[in-house]
Structure 1
Amino acid sequence: MTNILHSPFCNASLLAGLLFLFMGFMIRKFPPRSMKTWYGYRTFSSTINQQTWDEGNQYAAYVSRIMAYFLVPFGLICGFVFSTQSDVFMYVTISPVIFCALLLTGLTEWHLLQVFDEDGERRKGSV
């Protein structure tokens, strides 16, 4: 068990990528029906009303899957390139995870601002 945990294939990019992939497919397959559920994309913009909640979760699940398609191969490549878990290895594998998490939130919030106004009403011309 210790060999697996200390292997370069046990890295933040690979594990977070698998988590993003799982989250994206689960929210797509089983979307949270109400804002009272224990899971879902929960921010001020997404909890204005049911429409913003549904749109925010649908878009966050989509972006999450896209991020996973980047993180998983990156984590595998890092597993092959590095022979041990060094400090540089940690920085190289954790940095994309932080970037993707921030990008997921930023893109979803931007999308919600493009589709809805500040009162949660759908903007004219948005689908």
Structure 2
Amino acid sequence: MLLPFLHSTWCNAAIFAGALFFFMGFFIHRYPPKSTKSWYGYRSFLSTKTPEMWRSANEYAAYISRRIGVILILTGIACALLFNRQSDWFLYITIGAVVAGTMYMVGDTEWELTRHFDKDGNRILPE
């Protein structure tokens, strides 16, 4: 019973990773990590500089993660409907979407931090 599902197009990386991204973004939004010592949260060199950068990075990463989750789920459903078997192109598209979504989340969150904070971790005030 499990084997036919594993070989169907409905079992793909985009749907599973999309659900994980959406849940992760919802969880971090609903229960933000209190400090950099928390077991979960968006953790990078920039995000752990100051508590304000930590809070800002996790808030933004949770927002982006939910958006990417929805896009990945829709991509996975579209691939499940378009392909009749798990071919090479099916795998390239579904796994490539997950990799691209992950890279986008990290890159966009880091860019957002550099736009709003200076190199010492102080918030840049708008002029």
Structure 1 spans left out of the alignment, 5+ residues: none
For residues 78-114 of structure 1, the C-alpha deviation after alignment (integer angstroms, 9 at most, x for no partner) is 1111111111111011111111100000000000001
CA distance in 2, matches of 1:69, 1:10: 17
CA distance in 2, matches of 1:37, 1:3: 40
Alignment size in residue pairs: 126
CA distance in 1, matches of 2:122, 2:106: 21
| Pairing of 1:50-69 with structure 2 (within 5 A) | 50-69=51-70
Aligned-pair CA distance for 1:7: 1.2
Which stretches of structure 1, 4 residues or more, deviate above 2 A after TM superposition?
A: none
Question: Is the partner of 2:35 in helix, strand or coil?
Answer: coil
Q: Percent identity?
A: 45
Q: What amino acid does structure 2 have at the position aligned with 1:15?
A: F
Q: Is 1:7 paired with 2:8?
A: yes
Aligned-pair CA distance for 1:119: 0.6
Counterpart of 1:104 in structure 2 is 105
Query: Comparing 83-92 with 50-59, which one deviates more in the overlay?
Result: 83-92
CA distance in 1, matches of 2:5, 2:41: 31
The CA RMSD over aligned residues, in Å, is 1.0
Structure 2 spans left out of the alignment, 5+ residues: none
Q: What amino acid does structure 2 have at the position aligned with 1:120?
A: G
CA distance in 2, matches of 1:71, 1:18: 8
Counterpart of 1:117 in structure 2 is 118
CA distance in 2, matches of 1:92, 1:35: 35
TM-score if structure 2 supplies the norm length? 0.96
Counterpart of 2:94 in structure 1 is 93
Counterpart of 2:48 in structure 1 is 47
